[in-house]
Structure 1
Amino acid sequence: MTTMRIVTFILSTFIVGMVEMMVAGIMNLMSQDLHISEAIIGQLVTLYAITFAVVGPILVKLTNRFHPKPLLLWTLVFFIVGNVIIAVAPNFTILIIGRIISSAAAALIIVKILALTAMLTAPHNRGKMIGIVYSGFSGANVLGVPIGTMIGGAFGWRFTFLFIVAVSVLVGILMFIFLPQLNHTSTDESGSSSETHSKVVRPLEVVKYLGITFFILVANSITFIYINPLMLKSGHTLSFVSVVLLINGIAGVAGTSMGGFLSDKLTSKRWLIISVSVFIIMMLVLNQILTSVVILMIGLFVWNIMQWSTNPAVQSGIIDQVEGDTSQVMSWNMSSLNAGIGIGSMVGGLVVSKLNVFATTYFSAGIGVLVLILAISLTNVAKYRQQ
């Protein structure tokens, strides 16, 4: 993997992450301009997650026979068109159409980029490289959303999406120059052949990994989506909530890189057991440290770095269960991720309305235990490689 190819892959995941998260930063601006409530504008996030989860695997299945480079370039064209439609949308209906187009294209882009990363990287470095590439997605929280929010505040929310379009055009140029023109077979850094056919060798293990992705996102979303009222009811200010979101973004970038690196060193199973165990502990003690600012910030960082580190570990583990092209299985994983966010939001809402916001952490810990059981039940890498 050359440096410029890695940069291209990181920027590709960056624009996907940015377009998903951006609505939260400019929600009030969109609401005022379109004369629609913020609650309705917020459903654009739900629409994105649903489209991503449902359409992603279908598009991957339909496009498996096409070569990755032209497929990614054409998909990026649709991604750009979708965001242009959003930027010029005169009403909410047109906005929804643009959102569906951009989110469907984004689902295919990130899956193909991660599959290419796995294909072009030697097996012993795959976890680390997937973590590095996926850090673009988490990095969108740290850089993309704040930059987009500043642009929206200065020039209007439509210019935020035009900024995404401009970065996407840059990504397209980089893809055209640095993406390899793969045939039906190609070789990774180790010199081994990578075929575009796909065969799931251990279906049960894949199901376990997908379950881990789904339930860890459910567990995380139950609390994190309601982090605003959790902090405010603990006596903190809205400014502190902004700091919390910044901590989440930094932890996301660090966690994705760390999770991939440690998966290579320890195996995916071992790192998942460690990270999920720490996640459960942090959920159990979070309410007890809410009043201590320094300890709370440390706890929030540990919580988020552990949660974000699970996804590259899962992706690395899934790759070991598949022969050939991993795009289809990777799309299932991304669908599980987005479905987990949606379900977690719903469960969190029920917990907050029926009990209180402080109960969310304990529900997160409880579902985390289920994730830990799934992680423990995974087959050891050495064992199935011998098989």
Structure 2
Amino acid sequence: MLCVFGVGTSEFVIAGILPGLAGDLGVDIPTAGLLVTAYALGVVIGGPVVTIATGRISRKTLLLALMAVFIAGNILAALSPNFGILMITRVLAALTHSTFVAVGIVLAVGMAAPGKEASAVAKVSLGLNLATVLGVPLGTLIGERYDWRATFWAVAAITLLATILVAAVVSGADAPGGTAGSELKVLGNRQVQLAIAMTVLGSAGFGTVFTYISPLLTDVTGFSVDAVAVLLVLFGVGSALGSLLGGKLADRALMPAITGLLLALTLVLVLIGIAAPFQVVTAVLVFVFGVMSFAIIPGLQTRIFNAAVGAPTLALAVNISAFQLANAAGSWLGGRVVDSSFGLRWTAAAGALVTVLGLALGVIELLRDRRRSSDSEQPSGAAVLNADAAVSQ
């Protein structure tokens, strides 16, 4: 969780230190913003490639190696003499992102008690929530108090501490992952594909709204800029609680939890669009939006882990990369809605329409699971004949 906290902070904090960074390196804000795009592309491309290339390395060794590369990327970022070098260091750090989180989930699930796998996923994923709630504000504060380079030094320090803890306490993780062939074969599993599709649709629905939530809260709901900052912290708290809640629900009943939470997220998005002019109701909905947006993640990751028997790392890494692409797609869709005659308020409706597609897939999978379970409980024709013969004898 602490490693993921460092990784998440490094990804998201760039938005908070962008003005100082741009001024120091002599580039404009839009150019500096390409650092975000480059990191996202590094995550999307690096996840599958790095996972396949490192499949035969023992999981704990790989975890430590990925963290070493990530730490080096942040140290080099702090030392970058120009914008071009900084761009390269950001891509270097991003290449480790998806594989590290995927391997971390695999190890956590392997070390968890039976029936607590989704909660283990939730605890690892909680690092990303804490990165938004604590990491980004603290990293931004450090950058404002000292300079943007100090932020990267701080990220390197916290991830170094986390890496030392991994080396000291993570056990039972010496086995390598699957071969490249077995990892790639898993991507052909229908359950894996549908779980990734549900992640994409849920994430795109989230991104459609969250990208434009600040102007929605100021221009439509009428909150001040300072109030929006507080509401975003409230959202972050909700996201952290949602991860833990989603893990517990998924441990109890995996597909019912996934479909129920996708339904809840869809309803919340609809309600945000309806209640946007009302401040108190909207403030509550922002918190619930945070809870539901992140409560679905542990269950979906666990679904992929369970379906990708024997070789789950690539499937999980692809899912993490898909999350990045889906967020970008949601941002694009929200932008088109904002630029249309509908305006900001309708981004919530657009997000709900996307999320309901993920809900439809979840319902299909839930019904198929129940049908398979019912079929497995019914005795076969041969078993019935043998039972009849035994009775006759």
Task: Specify if TM > 0.5.
Answer: yes
Q: Hey, what does 2:226 align to over in structure 1? A: 239
**Structure 2 counterpart SS, 1:122:** coil
CA contact (8 A) 1:12 1:113 kept: no
2:341 equivalent to 1:350: no
**Structure 2 counterpart SS, 1:281:** helix
**Pairwise CA distance, 1:31:** 2.0
State, as a whole percentage, how many aligned pairs show the same letter: 27
2:300 equivalent to 1:314: yes
**Counterpart amino acid of residue 244 in structure 2:** S
CA distance in 2, matches of 1:168, 1:321: 31
Match 1:147 to one of 131, 138, 145: 138
2:321 equivalent to 1:331: no
CA distance in 2, matches of 1:33, 1:102: 21
**Counterpart amino acid of residue 123 in structure 2:** I
Match 1:26 to one of 6, 17, 27: 17
Distance change in 2, residues 1:101/1:326 (3 Å) = same
**Pairwise CA distance, 1:384:** 4.9
CA distance in 1, matches of 2:193, 2:371: 18
Distance change in 2, residues 1:262/1:286 (3 Å) = same
Match 1:299 to one of 285, 292, 300: 285
Unaligned runs of 5+ in 1: 1-9, 186-193
Q: Hey, what does 2:348 align to over in structure 1? A: 361
Distance change in 2, residues 1:276/1:182 (3 Å) = closer
CA contact (8 A) 1:49 1:342 kept: no
- Structure 1 residues 121-270: aligned runs within 5 Å: 121-180=112-171, 182-184=173-175, 200=186, 203-234=189-220, 235-267=222-254, 269-270=255-256
Distance change in 2, residues 1:377/1:31 (3 Å) = same
1:83-139 deviations in Å (ceiling 9; x for gaps): 112112122111110100011122221111011112222341101111112111111
2:52 equivalent to 1:61: yes
**Structure 1 counterpart SS, 2:95:** helix
**Counterpart amino acid of residue 231 in structure 2:** V
CA contact (8 A) 2:56 2:178 kept: no
2:360 equivalent to 1:370: no
**Pairwise CA distance, 1:203:** 1.0
**Structure 1 counterpart SS, 2:27:** coil
Q: Hey, what does 1:115 align to over in structure 2? A: 106
CA contact (8 A) 1:57 1:328 kept: yes
Q: Hey, what does 2:38 align to over in structure 1? A: 47
**Pairwise CA distance, 1:195:** 7.8
CA distance in 1, matches of 2:188, 2:46: 25
Distance change in 2, residues 1:353/1:42 (3 Å) = same
**Counterpart amino acid of residue 149 in structure 2:** R
**Counterpart amino acid of residue 127 in structure 1:** A
Match 2:274 to one of 263, 268, 288: 288
Distance change in 2, residues 1:144/1:245 (3 Å) = same
CA distance in 2, matches of 1:216, 1:38: 30
**Structure 2 counterpart SS, 1:361:** helix
Kindly report the root-mean-square deviation, in angstroms, between the aligned alpha carbons of the 2 structures.
Answer: 2.0
Unaligned runs of 5+ in 2: 377-393
CA contact (8 A) 1:251 1:305 kept: yes
CA contact (8 A) 2:6 2:159 kept: yes
Distance change in 2, residues 1:195/1:158 (3 Å) = closer
**Structure 2 counterpart SS, 1:263:** helix
**Counterpart amino acid of residue 16 in structure 2:** G
CA distance in 1, matches of 2:258, 2:121: 16
CA distance in 2, matches of 1:26, 1:102: 17
Q: Hey, what does 1:5 align to over in structure 2? A: none
CA distance in 2, matches of 1:106, 1:165: 14
Q: Between Structure 1 and Structure 2, how many residues are aligned?
A: 369
CA contact (8 A) 2:216 2:344 kept: yes
1:343-365 deviations in Å (ceiling 9; x for gaps): 11122222212332222111101
1:264-298 deviations in Å (ceiling 9; x for gaps): 1122x211221111211121221332233221111
Comparing 164-173 and 175-184, the one that deviates more: 175-184
Q: Hey, what does 2:387 align to over in structure 1? A: none
Comparing 230-239 and 140-149, the one that deviates more: 230-239
**Structure 1 counterpart SS, 2:309:** strand
CA distance in 2, matches of 1:241, 1:263: 32
Comparing 365-374 and 105-114, the one that deviates more: 105-114
CA contact (8 A) 2:276 2:345 kept: no
**Pairwise CA distance, 1:383:** 5.5
**Counterpart amino acid of residue 200 in structure 1:** V
Larger radius of gyration between Structure 1 and Structure 2: 2
**Pairwise CA distance, 1:141:** 0.7
CA contact (8 A) 1:119 1:325 kept: no
CA distance in 2, matches of 1:69, 1:257: 25
CA distance in 2, matches of 1:153, 1:23: 12
CA distance in 2, matches of 1:200, 1:156: 45
